[in-house]
């Protein structure tokens, strides 16, 4: 109920700005604090991607806070590519962000008709396979065919693969066997407050595994 109301009231731009700023501040506070780089993902809306000034503002915000763009994943919903007229400036701005060093991720991969054309036209570093292709995949032979096909398609193009919504060890094991590079989901952790997240990341980075 909240997001549609916020959209109607004209608050979404402000909300996005606050969430983005707090995320970047957390990323900056953890940068250099562990043995491995901490990689943060930001969902980027079509409104920002279609506006070159908004893109420059985002980049300025990242650099002013002292972050390396390569440590920021910009998560893009493939649905923003459906409208061809609106897609042209978006593709141009994504290409610019890639040139600036940002890690570009295509979210909800496999759920829209634009998947393959998006891989062809954009500088995609990683695809995120939607949970609908992950839930119970270790026990569902029909689902395995689709999920393995998505993984193989990305891999054939030298694109990294992340599986969303992993909740069981069986799902993790099957995905690992298929060559999936990264997982996220409740098997790792549910959503936690920023302070707890920072502690978890540092513990993981300083741990042996």
Strands in 126-129's sheet, in edge-to-edge order, are 40-43, 72-77, 103-109, 126-129, 160-163, 182-183
Q: Is the pLDDT of residue 81 over 70?
A: no
Kindly tell me the sign of the dihedral angle through the C-alpha atoms of 41, 37, 91, 79. Answer: negative
- Interatomic CA distance for residues 168 and 157, integer angstroms: 28
Rounded mean pLDDT of 103-118?
A: 76
Q: Is the pLDDT of residue 114 over 60?
A: no
129 forms beta bridges with 109, 163
- Interatomic CA distance for residues 157 and 160, integer angstroms: 9
Closest CA relative to residue 127, chosen from 90, 94, 152, 99:
152
- For 124-171, how does the pLDDT look when each residue is reduced to its tens digit (9 = 90+)? 899 999 999 999 999 999 999 999 999 999 999 999 999 999 999 999
pLDDT value at residue 202: 73
């Amino acid at each position: 109920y909240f997001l549609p109301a916020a959209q109607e009231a004209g608050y979404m731009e402000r909300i996005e700005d606050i969430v983005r700023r707090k995320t970047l501040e957390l990323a900056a506070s953890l940068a250099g604090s562990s043995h491995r780089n901490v990689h943060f993902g930001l969902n980027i809306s079509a409104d920002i991607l279609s506006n070159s000034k908004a893109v420059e503002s985002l980049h300025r915000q990242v650099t002013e806070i002292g972050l390396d763009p390569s440590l920021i994943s910009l998560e893009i919903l493939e649905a923003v590519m459906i409208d061809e007229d609106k897609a042209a400036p978006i593709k141009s701005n994504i290409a610019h962000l890639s040139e600036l060093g940002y890690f570009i991720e295509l979210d909800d991969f496999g759920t829209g008709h634009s998947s393959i054309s998006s891989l062809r036209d954009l500088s995609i570093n990683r695809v995120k396979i939607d949970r609908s292709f992950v839930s119970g995949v270790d026990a569902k032979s029909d689902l395995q065919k689709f999920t393995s096909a998505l993984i193989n398609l990305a891999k054939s193009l030298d694109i990294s693969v992340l599986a969303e919504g992993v909740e069981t060890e069986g799902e993790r094991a099957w995905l690992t066997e298929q060559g999936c590079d990264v997982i996220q989901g409740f098997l790792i952790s549910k959503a936690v407050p920023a302070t707890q997240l920072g502690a978890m990341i540092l513990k993981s980075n300083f741990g042996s595994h």
